[in-house]
Structure 1
């Protein structure tokens, strides 16, 4: 049976999404092609029609993961806007528990261990995250007075604090759920407060 172009695109995305879910749970080496195909609801044959190897799929899935933003988490903190919304949604229980969230918090250590092309994909993705965050801060910069280097430093500081907080929240979620929630709530309050005060100054 002939498969439409739309179905081909859907199958390819299903493989990418399945890889992102399994890799987040088990690391880059934790899931084989058969398991990825099963998770995506596709056959081995379908896999090799889209990707020449598991490594090629992982590279594309890693790059695709950086298209995620906290704005994908709808329904949380609707009163926040701009950079404050980004911080609030990132440091949420919904993000902590979602399957397809920020790749940095989920896989930065794995990317460092893998090295090579995967580390390069992650480095480029992190650069883009910093640029996006700096752009959000620039739009809210008081009188446009801050330099690009200052905005990038602020974006880097916020991103690293948010990622570190999410890593700790996930590490403690099962054994100490109250601690996990406290980590998120404390950082969210402080960082959102700083971002909001900065925009009003």
Structure 2
């Protein structure tokens, strides 16, 4: 039976969803094409009707995983503003996030591996990473886009680094200590950011 274009598109999306989750859980080398196809309930031969190679799948799945994170962040920030940013940080720096890499941030899960991946995988990931940075920067105070971006980048680095370290420690007091220390550091920076925002507003009124 001939598969329609609509069904092909559905199948392809399913493969991306599965690959994006499994790569985050097991890493790029821990997932095979056969694993993805079996979970999707498709034959191994059908893979090449969607992707030219595992590398092509890895590139699109990595970008897809990061896009999912970006979409969640953007929705949270747009709906709740600075309160949304606080909720985002709390949810990110949590044991639940540590325990569920498959549905969590793609940077924390896959970032450490990207330097060893082929250029197409790195490029696809980098393009979506820019979108994530822009989402955070849009809610940072600053006189211009460059200043807002300069505040978003360290925030992202703190959060991602905290999850990578905490996962390395496993379920231990050290993992909890890392999360709490970074949470407090971000909160302290947030206080100064709020002060800066109020000062900027005061200067504008004056």
TM-score by length of 2: 0.78
Please give the root-mean-square deviation of Cα atoms over the aligned residues, in Å.
Answer: 2.9
- The Cα of 1:16 is off from its aligned counterpart by 1.2
- The Cα of 1:5 is off from its aligned counterpart by 5.4
Determine which structure has more spread, i.e. the larger CA radius of gyration. 2
* 1:68–1:101 Cα contact (<8 Å) kept: no
For structure 2, the residue ranges without an aligned partner over 5 or more in a row are: 74-79, 199-206
Distance in 2 (alpha carbons) for counterparts of 1:57 and 1:186: 37
- The Cα of 1:48 is off from its aligned counterpart by 2.4
Distance in 1 (alpha carbons) for counterparts of 2:56 and 2:155: 32
Distance in 2 (alpha carbons) for counterparts of 1:20 and 1:192: 31
* 2:167–2:175 Cα contact (<8 Å) kept: yes
Distance in 2 (alpha carbons) for counterparts of 1:157 and 1:71: 20
Structure 2 partner of 1:122? 125
* 1:87–1:192 Cα contact (<8 Å) kept: no
- The Cα of 1:163 is off from its aligned counterpart by 0.6
Distance in 1 (alpha carbons) for counterparts of 2:58 and 2:111: 14
Distance in 1 (alpha carbons) for counterparts of 2:70 and 2:165: 18
Structure 1 partner of 2:201? none
Whether 1:10 aligns to 2:7 is no
For structure 1, the residue ranges without an aligned partner over 5 or more in a row are: none
- The Cα of 1:133 is off from its aligned counterpart by 0.6
- The Cα of 1:46 is off from its aligned counterpart by 3.3
